[in-house]
Structure 1
Amino acid sequence: MDYLSIVGILLGLGAILGGNWWEGGHVSSLANGPAIVIVLGGTLGAMLLQTPWVTFVRGMKMLKWLFVPPPLDLRAQIQKIITWSSQARKDGLLGLEALIEKEPDPFCRKGLQMLADGNEGGSVREALEVDLQAAEQFDIHASKIFEAMGGYSPTIGIIGAVMGLIHVMQNLSDPSKLGAGIATAFVATVYGVGLANLFFLPIAAKLKAHVHAQVQRRELIIEGLIAIAEGENPRNIELKLEGFLQES
């Protein structure tokens, strides 16, 4: 569980709402149905217009990473690679076939299968790096849908503000309708800027960080598999792969 995401959301919303209350405002003053429809609907529509379906679906699936990040225990991964290396030194590369069916990660399974099939280290690296780059680009594009929403929502908020002012100008002769139009104008701007800077842009940044972390994990796996293919000593492999650890 990523508690920083929860703290960030609560702190951001708490600061805005608390500051509004401190100034003497009320939460109800920030609740405006037309403004919500304009900003959220317009932002989602613009994002969907620019996004392929598969990218949109991947982005929605990645949202859970905000609170439940993908596994990233590099020490455990290194120990697993050392186990593979010991098995290969004991029974040869063909001995890795017994480990393939037990391995849940498709990326690792592919690498182990290529080693068991007798592929040289260069061929293994080339094949796995293609998978690595393709997965990285796909996930980065998926995370950018939230970055795009962060770019659109302030502009949509301004559109909502202008629409509210148009409503005001059309009803100058009826003072009873002026308040609603002015409220929509200002609240739409708050929604647009607030959603962008409190949610959409931070979400995009965090998802990109998780994508880069997964890339690092897969690079570690590639280096470990190549070392196994070259017959390196398990202890030397461990020392080499410890360079991927980023611990203070």
Structure 2
Amino acid sequence: MRKRDILTPIGITLGFIMIMLAILFKGGMEGFNSFLDIASIFVVLGGLAASLLINFKLEQIKLTGKVMKEAFHQNDHRLKDLIGMFIRLSERARREGILALESEMDEEDDPFIKKGVLLAVDGVEPEVINDIMNAEITAMEERHYKGRAILEKAGEYAPAWGMIGTLVGLVLMLNSLTDPATLGPKMAVALLTTLYGTVMANLVFLPMANKLAAKTEEEMFTKQIIIEGVIGVQSGQNPRILEEKLGAFLPKEEKEETEDEAVFTGESVNEA
């Protein structure tokens, strides 16, 4: 299941609001208007687009919007619920046989879980299941890397194009040294491209790329739990032992919460 990650839009919006408030407090609306320059925007966005077109294939460029959209969503895989599902599958497999799990997979939304359990139902060796599913994780990691590489490169190129725009502005300014009254305004406009490029890199592109990298690590971690769960179910492990094994993947806070719940209900997580 996927849900919206509200922190990404909140962070981007908050960053822009703080910048605008700083400008308004110091210079009012007149100061705010001085920070808008169409030519500077064209230099940064146009140069950035040109660099990305040179750096990447057209197929990758087309995926930019989809990749950026991923930073606004997150997978709703709760580890406790995931572990609970495998405990339930283990109990049913021991009670009714591994073939009984095939019908359960008809309603499973996660293709990775579905694939692993169906491989187990088909009697594939645990080592082979491990190899197949780990190969899928490696392929996923590579796809994710190629996707966020566009954002990482955009984060590198945006400040560089901002600096190029500033250099262009300085050249134009130096050509008009005979009119000292124009030096201040032209210097301000020249510096705007550096501002635009730096803000875009550090408020949009690089934070999004880092978030996507963190999401990839989280997804790989979750998939490793799934692999352990599938192999545990196939090998007929005692549900309580499987619970202990998968529980090792839980963060400390969730482990303590699980133990507290077990004590409250009079159960023991160590019960065999």
Same fold, TM exceeding 0.5?
Answer: yes
Q: What is the CA distance between 1:62 and its match in structure 2? A: 3.4
Task: Give the whole-Å Cα distance in 1 for the aligned partners of 2:102 and 2:8.
Answer: 41
**Would the aligned equivalents of 1:78 and 1:241 in 2 still touch at CA under 8 Å?**
yes
**Equivalent residue in structure 2 for 1:18, among 16, 21, 24:** 21
Structure 1 residue 217 and structure 2 residue 198: aligned?
A: no
The letter for the 2-side match of 1:84 is L
Determine if contact 2:154/2:205 at 8 Å carries over to the other structure.
yes
Which amino acid is the alignment partner of residue 158 of structure 2? Answer: S
SS in 2 for 1:69: strand
Residue 108 of structure 1 aligns with which residue? Answer: 113
More moved, 4-13 vs 122-131: 4-13
Give the distance between the partners of 1:235 and 1:95, measured in 2 at CA: 20
Q: Partners in 2 of 1:247 and 1:156 — Cα distance?
A: 45
Whether the aligned pair in 2 keeps the contact of 1:56 and 1:142 (CA below 8 Å) is no
Equivalent pair of 2:121/2:234 in contact (CA under 8 Å)? no
**SS of the residue 2:103 aligns to:** helix
1:60 pairs with one of 57, 65, 78: 65
DSSP-derived class of the 2:233 partner: helix
The reply on whether 1:96 has 2:108 as its aligned counterpart is: no
Q: Deviations over 1:34-53 (max 9, x none)?
A: 11111122113212322234
Contact 2:48 2:161 in 1 (8 A): yes
- Whether 2:82 is the aligned partner of 1:82: answer no
Instruction: Quote the RMSD (CA, aligned, Å).
Output: 2.2
Deviation track 1:99-157 (CA, whole Å, cap 9, x = no partner) reads 22221111112111211111111110010000011101211221122111111111100
Count of residues in correspondence between the two structures: 248
The residue aligned with 1:6 is 9
Residue 239 (structure 2) aligns with: 234
124-133 or 24-33, which deviates more: 24-33
| TM-score normalized by the length of structure 1 | 0.90
Q: What is the aligned counterpart of 1:156 among 152, 161, 164?
A: 161
SS in 2 for 1:30: coil
| SS state at 2:236 partner | coil
Provide closer, same or farther for how the CA distance between residues 56 and 89 of structure 1 changes in structure 2, counting only shifts above 3 A. farther
Match of residue 197, structure 1, among 177, 199, 202: 202
Moved more, 136-145 or 177-186: 177-186
How far did 1:218 drift? 0.6
Alpha-carbon distance in 2 for matches of 1:246, 1:65: 25
TM norm structure 2: 0.82
Is residue 121 of structure 1 aligned with residue 131 of structure 2? Answer: no
> SS at 2:85's partner residue?
helix
Query: Does 12-21 or 145-154 show the bigger shift?
Result: 12-21
Aligned mates of 1:70, 1:56 — CA distance in 2: 24
Identity, in percent, stands at 34
Shift of 1:221: 0.2
Structure 2 unaligned segments of length 5 or more: list them.
254-272
